[in-house]
Amino acid sequence: MAAGAEDPVTGAQLVAQALRAQSIEYMFGIVGIPIIEVAFAAQAEGIKYIGMRNEQAACYAASAVGYLTGRPGVCLVVSGPGLINALSGMANANMNCWPLLVIGGSSDRNQETLGAFQEFPQVEACRLYSKFSARPSSLEAIPSVIEKAVRSSIYGRPGACYIDIPGDFVNSHVNRTSVRYAECCLAPPVSLADTLAVSQAVSVLMNAQRPLLILGKGAAYSCAEKSIRKLVDQCGLPFLPTPMGKGIVPDNHPNCVAAARSSALLHADVIVLLGARLNWILHFGLPPRFQPDVKIIQVDICAEELGNNVKPAACLLGDVSVVTEQLLEQLGKQSWRYSSSSVWWDDLKEKMKQNEESAMALAVQKSLPMNYYTVFHHIRTLLPKDCIIVSEGANTMDIGRTVLQNYEPRHRLDAGTFGTMGVGLGFAIAAAMVARDRNPEQRVVCVEGDSAFGFSGMEVETICRYNLPVLIIVVNNNGIYSGFDESVWKEMLTQGDPAILVPPLFLRPNSHYEQVMSAFGGKGYFVQTPEELQDALKASLADRALPSLINVMIDPLSDRKKQDFPWLTRSNL
């Protein structure tokens, strides 16, 4: 083409080409005016587009891709209500520290302040939920703004970013030669901790009587599993994974003390936090869950996180993987190893044995309806070791975390730091898309409470439309936390207005959620006994051709075993 010749490109094409240039692979969304053409352009560039049924689920899926791959997934939404629906996913990504890029269509620029269709201050609203929020000043600026958004989402503490695309940008043309193209941003720089801080941390750890490693999802995201496994094995240290830290070191490793979680937190005198935060999940690091004089060694990529809630004995600012290598090097020079014959180990092992026996006693109960532990015992026995487990709900998620084991990192997704309900099916769809590309034989198993399933149940159609290898297990107790049986329900309906009489926690009993899966061409199972559960699990796992949903009825009053401390700590701080 001669110099200066016209080479027109649309705004939609610029968005898609810029995303592809930044190595973006997946886009989730719901199309409509004004961003339909963006989705088509993305597919033309080889980006996989997954059309969802709700913007919340689309945003959850895109954020899960960011966690699983280290490169943000894209959530594409329409203006106004579409973008507002995605805000929950942006907030969840920011709280979890997962990379995410939301692209929202918006009103035409020449209609601003006139009362345009779905007009809303989108850039301003998204600043509360993201690391970066901007509208390109022109079509020519689109690639450079997208590069900055992608880079911002993965550099430092990962998080959500937003780009606003006015409707009149989408189909407008510009000469390609005038566009400010941007090269693919590099992988995030890897930072080492200060050597003096490492020496200080090693000194504190070597003087510990009751040491404990806590493995957070930040360590999983940084792919620190090799260095952390070496630290555990070389130094003989007990470790406790946070919910999404499970699998960094396999749950069946002899040094895993998850079965004695409360006791380990309560009595440890030195704790090494590897990519974990002292928030509500770890009871803020404060008494009565922790010793008042416990020494905390923090390893985190975010400087602002160091010193939150407690004064650390050592602060190691840097990438979890390489900082762990620094610790290993120093400890190796000292030839230090924690004694496996210590009283601390004896106490932990005794507590683990007691808790495991208590859980097993519940699991082998023969009475019907089944309880949580019976259900999870049979699921655990049959699940493939490499499957990705997605879990959400109240008791379903919390009890499932203690029973269902993970053997590989980044193989568990749940409600996370924000405690968000409704993430399950979006996460499962994202995990299945990534698995399909990277490990086609891998299964995704989504274990949900019946209340949690209700948040995003229509995404079952999405799963069936794309024929994703997802097995959904709904643990159905007829309510939120607890419910009641059908006889009580029928009697209650005869006594007056259900809006007055039905307790807020209760849902309709014996709901056939499996029929939702059957309605869209998948396979549904309604099970009430351990034998039916085993048969349904075996059939679902054997049949890769169809997505499946197993609706498992349990005792509406089933609960978790007695805990030393409740999971949620209430604080007056």
- Helix, coil or strand: residue 134: strand
CA dihedral 498, 499, 501, 502 (to 10 degrees): 80
Task: Answer for the pair 60, 446: CB distance below 8 angstroms, yes or no.
Answer: no
CA 17 – CA 181 distance, rounded (Å): 10
CA 322 – CA 317 distance, rounded (Å): 11
CA dihedral 260, 262, 268, 274 (to 10 degrees): 90
Percent of the chain with pLDDT over 70: 97
Which residues in 230-311 belong to E strands, given as ranges? 239-241, 270-274, 295-300
Q: Is the peptide bond before 369 cis (omega within 30 degrees of 0)?
A: yes
CA 221 – CA 479 distance, rounded (Å): 34
- At 220-273, the pLDDT tens digits run 999 999 999 999 999 999 999 999 999 999 999 999 999 999 999 999 999 999
45-59, 369-383, 393-407, 473-487: least confident range: 473-487
CA 276 – CA 240 distance, rounded (Å): 11
Average pLDDT over residues 507-523: 96
Q: Which residues pair with 31 in a beta bridge?
A: none
pLDDT at 541 over 80: yes
pLDDT at 564 over 80: no
Q: Can you say whether residue 416 is alpha, beta or left, with left for phi > 0 and alpha for psi between -120 and 50 degrees?
A: left
Average pLDDT over residues 274-283: 96
What pLDDT, on the 0 to 100 scale, is given for residue 565? 63
Average pLDDT over residues 122-135: 96
For the chain, the residue count is 573
Average pLDDT over residues 517-539: 97
Ordered strands of the 100-106 beta sheet: 48-51, 26-29, 73-77, 100-106, 160-166, 132-134
Q: Which residue has the higher pLDDT, 484 or 324?
A: 324
In order of their start, the domains of the chain are 8-178 (3.40.50.970), 195-349 (3.40.50.1220), 365-553 (3.40.50.970)
CA 49 – CA 34 distance, rounded (Å): 17
Task: Answer for the pair 290, 433: CB distance below 8 angstroms, yes or no.
Answer: no
Average pLDDT over residues 198-227: 97
What pLDDT, on the 0 to 100 scale, is given for residue 68? 98
Q: How many CB atoms lie within 10 A of CB 8?
A: 10
CA 168 – CA 166 distance, rounded (Å): 5
Q: Read off φ and ψ for residue 447, nearest 5 degrees.
A: -105, 115
Helix (H) or strand (E) holding 173: strand 173-175
Q: How many CB atoms lie within 10 A of CB 568?
A: 11
CA 400 – CA 363 distance, rounded (Å): 12
- DSSP codes, 40-55: HHHHHTT-EEEE-SSH
Average pLDDT over residues 477-490: 85
What pLDDT, on the 0 to 100 scale, is given for residue 408? 97
Q: Read off φ and ψ for residue 499, nearest 5 degrees.
A: -65, -20
What pLDDT, on the 0 to 100 scale, is given for residue 190? 94
**Mean pLDDT rounded to a whole number for the chain:** 94
Residues 6+ apart with CB under 8 A from 55: 29, 30, 75, 77, 82, 83, 85, 86, 89
- Give the pair of three-digit tokens for residue 169: 């940008």
What pLDDT, on the 0 to 100 scale, is given for residue 1? 45
pLDDT at 4 over 80: no
Identify which of 181, 171, 157, 24 has the alpha carbon closest to the alpha carbon of residue 94: 157
Average pLDDT over residues 354-377: 94
Task: Answer for the pair 177, 2: CB distance below 8 angstroms, yes or no.
Answer: no
Strand duo 444-449 + 211-215: pairing:
unpaired
Q: Read off φ and ψ for residue 482, nearest 5 degrees.
A: -155, 165
Q: Is the peptide bond before 498 cis (omega within 30 degrees of 0)?
A: no
Helix (H) or strand (E) holding 17: helix 11-21
- Give the pair of three-digit tokens for residue 116: 């345009």
What pLDDT, on the 0 to 100 scale, is given for residue 339? 87
What pLDDT, on the 0 to 100 scale, is given for residue 136? 97
**Burial of 68 from C-beta contacts in 10 A (0-12 / 13-18 / 19+):** buried
- At 309-360, the pLDDT tens digits run 999 999 999 999 999 999 999 999 999 999 888 899 999 999 999 999 999 9
Helix (H) or strand (E) holding 66: helix 55-69
What pLDDT, on the 0 to 100 scale, is given for residue 494? 82
pLDDT at 481 over 90: no
